[in-house]
Structure 1
Amino acid sequence: MRLRSAAPDAALLALSATEVWATRSFGGHLALVFACLGTAALLVRRRFPLAAFAATLPALALGYIWFSPMGTLYEISAGRPGHLPAQGLRIARGIPPGGRWPASWRVSARAALIGGCAFLAAVVSFAPWPFRDPVRWTLSSTILAVMLSALLAVAPTALGLLAASRRELAARLDELAASRERERSLAAEQAVVRERTRLAREMHDTVAHHLSLIAVQSGALEVTAKGPQAQAAASAVRELSRDALDELRRMVGLLRLPVAQGRDLAAGPGLAGIPALVAAAGPQTDGELAGVADGDTLPAEVQLAAYRIVQEALTNVRKHAPGARTRVLVRRDGDALLVEVRNGPGGQAPPTALPSGGHGLAGLRERATQLGGDFDALPDGAGGFLIRARLPVGAATGAE
């Protein structure tokens, strides 16, 4: 890209140097000096266009030099941002040193600057100077001189204005593309918000309603139940339904939050809640929970994934292999957290089949995959089932 942009500059410099060499004997030593100065001014025309233009005027007046004044005049007309000095930039934009002018004045001031430079170039090119040969003011020679001076001033000015217009148009197109991208992003975000709101409403109006009824009915059953076993069962149902309601309300609240709000959607149960899951699963379930001690040092999303894996695995044991011996393992394994739930054959016949969408294990695999981990769910070869997940947690921060 730099070579591509430098090619026109090198071509202009070469043409100007060739022009100086070809006209070196036309105006004497003084004209040659100013011609060389004008060519050298092309090297700084991007950074100091007004000064470079002024440096080419003597060469235009004393000799037959065109390329260097035309190049600097083009640079002024193109008006590249950052290529004018601070004062010249304020003048080009129509901004006085002490304040701001209206937008229409700014356009007029820039046009006046460009037009003034073009007019000055035309006058210097047309006006005879004492150092030149006497001029014959015939009608034809005057017309040709006027046309030549006008062409010398108008051509680079028009090309510069065209380049500035193309650059401004490209900037506008980029801005329009960025605006459309922002609109698409905003529309997608609004669609997500609407869908999350709909899901929150449906969850509140259906699932929360039924869970509330279960909690109320189990509370009433606990009061009226005869025998300690029935009361304990009713109490367990009531506690489980209350826990489910609490988690459901938390999820409904998170779904109703704005998408961009800085609240962690992964906030929820962590490793500290796994012992309660193991205890609630009954005497047939035991665990090796060495990894629970690392709860304060592990990312929240890893803790939540481990909790959900244990929760879903124990739920599946109750549904498909009630009474089976179950072992839960949670421990650090290098830079990963290892979670295993292994159960043996069921000791009782499964109860009446419960509704199931078959998405439990798929959801656990998705959780592990999103964290960059591995997930396996397979028979263990002895009539039982094994669920194993390996969740990366980065470098060890709390080594055992």
Structure 2
Amino acid sequence: MNRALLTNAALIVVAAVESGLNEPRDPLTVGAAVLAVVALVFRQRWPVAVFLATLPALAIAGGLLATVFALYSVAVRHSDRMLLTGCAVLGTAGYLFPGMDLELPRADVLLVVIYAVMTAVAPIFFGRLVWAREHERELDAQAVLARERNQLAREMHDVVSHKVSLIAVQAGALSVSTADPDARAAAENVRKLSVDTLDELRHMVNLLRASGSAATELVPQPTLSDVDGLVANSGIEATLTGSAPAGIDSAFQRTIYRTIQEALTNVRKHAPGSTAHVEIAHGTHLTVTVTNTAPTRPTLALPSARHGLVGLRERAALLGGVITSGPTPDGGFRLQLRLPLAR
């Protein structure tokens, strides 16, 4: 069972035992005591309301612990000083409400007031202390994450970007030095793809260094208007048919683009010499299907951890869709994205 639920159950039991030991007799006192104990079930969701619900039991039935537990929850969830001060005042007044014995010596009266104030202030103090520790733990975790992102950004900049830059430079040199038109076209295509990769790497490095700041708009996200260029510059023989409905959500557009991008990249890596066809269709669902023929040249053993397909499935799942993939009867491969349009 969840630790928080066990803790809450234990506190409810303790408060109920205390209420029983106070031996409430008349219906009003019993009702106030029961209300205070039952209200503790909701102290984490509505702490202020629960605190107010415990005050009658504190004032007329002597149910102190329920109010203390509720005050602690208020302090953990809220940082407004006026609210906390008001709760402390109400808690103190509720403790003193039954009336002090005016025949008590003045020193004893002062001690009772001090005890009432401390009883109300102590749970608020400990609640704020727990909140501060949790907040500090979150800040430490964010700092660790920021350091990891910066380290990853440095590695991407220093290693990956450097190697891709060399590929782009050498491909450019080959495209202007060779007399073979096919080799020139292939080299120029490699250069364009390398430049595009460098551009995306730069945006990724900026994103990592921003540590997820929502205020920093780093790169325009791809949309359906970019799909034609993606297919045309994919480096393979590819065609595109169909279209998506106008005005669909930007998250849908990004998912469609990334799915086609990943599928064409896989065709280029794992099915050299094949042709690809991208089909976009929509009805009750939107489907994006990328199919390629069997490879006509030997396949190079390229490293792959299949993170691309995993990422696509995660993107699709967030939008209520699915990704399916598998070989075709003619030796090719088929990948399909299916998304619901009722959104």
User: TM-score with structure 1 length normalisation?
Assistant: 0.58
Unaligned runs of 5+ in 2: 1-34, 37-52, 63-87
Tell me the equivalent position of 1:150.
Answer: 104
For residues 180 and 91 of structure 2, the distance between their equivalents in structure 1, rounded to whole angstroms, comes to 88
Tell me the equivalent position of 2:122.
Answer: 169
Matches within 5 A, 1:1-400: 1-2=35-36, 4-10=54-60, 79-80=89-90, 149-150=103-104, 157-263=110-216, 267-281=220-234, 284-291=237-244, 294=246, 297-334=247-284, 337-346=286-295, 348-392=296-340, 395=343
For residues 283 and 80 of structure 1, the distance between their equivalents in structure 2, rounded to whole angstroms, comes to 74
For residues 89 and 188 of structure 2, the distance between their equivalents in structure 1, rounded to whole angstroms, comes to 81
For residues 248 and 264 of structure 2, the distance between their equivalents in structure 1, rounded to whole angstroms, comes to 23
For residues 262 and 58 of structure 2, the distance between their equivalents in structure 1, rounded to whole angstroms, comes to 69
For residues 58 and 268 of structure 2, the distance between their equivalents in structure 1, rounded to whole angstroms, comes to 79
The 8 Å contact of residues 373 and 390 in structure 1, kept in 2 or not, is answered as yes
Tell me the equivalent position of 2:84.
Answer: none
For residues 157 and 392 of structure 1, the distance between their equivalents in structure 2, rounded to whole angstroms, comes to 69
SS of match in other structure, 2:226:
helix
Query: Relative to 1, partners in 2 of residues 1:349 and 1:227: Cα closer, same or farther, differing over 3 Å?
Result: closer
The 8 Å contact of residues 338 and 390 in structure 1, kept in 2 or not, is answered as yes
Higher Cα Rg: structure 1 or 2?
Answer: 1
The 8 Å contact of residues 321 and 337 in structure 2, kept in 1 or not, is answered as yes
Unaligned runs of 5+ in 1: 13-77, 85-113, 123-148, 396-400
Deviation, 1:311, is 1.2
Deviation, 1:4, is 4.9
SS of match in other structure, 2:239:
strand
Query: Relative to 1, partners in 2 of residues 1:8 and 1:219: Cα closer, same or farther, differing over 3 Å?
Result: closer
Length, aligned pairs only: 265
The 8 Å contact of residues 92 and 117 in structure 2, kept in 1 or not, is answered as no
Q: What are the superposed Cα offsets for residues 282-319 of structure 1, whole Å, 9 maximum, x if unpaired? A: 7842222311x63xx33433322221211111122222
Query: Relative to 1, partners in 2 of residues 1:331 and 1:264: Cα closer, same or farther, differing over 3 Å?
Result: farther
For residues 281 and 204 of structure 1, the distance between their equivalents in structure 2, rounded to whole angstroms, comes to 24
The 8 Å contact of residues 266 and 300 in structure 1, kept in 2 or not, is answered as no
Alignment RMSD (CA, Å): 3.1
Deviation, 1:180, is 1.0
Query: Relative to 1, partners in 2 of residues 1:300 and 1:8: Cα closer, same or farther, differing over 3 Å?
Result: closer
Query: Relative to 1, partners in 2 of residues 1:382 and 1:230: Cα closer, same or farther, differing over 3 Å?
Result: closer
Runs of 4+ displaced beyond 6 Å: 81-84
User: TM-score with structure 2 length normalisation?
Assistant: 0.67
- Amino acid of the structure 1 residue aligned with 2:293: G
SS of match in other structure, 2:90:
coil
For residues 305 and 208 of structure 1, the distance between their equivalents in structure 2, rounded to whole angstroms, comes to 25
For residues 172 and 388 of structure 1, the distance between their equivalents in structure 2, rounded to whole angstroms, comes to 57
Q: What are the superposed Cα offsets for residues 338-396 of structure 1, whole Å, 9 maximum, x if unpaired? A: 221122323x123432232332222222222234321112223443222112235653x
SS of match in other structure, 2:272:
coil
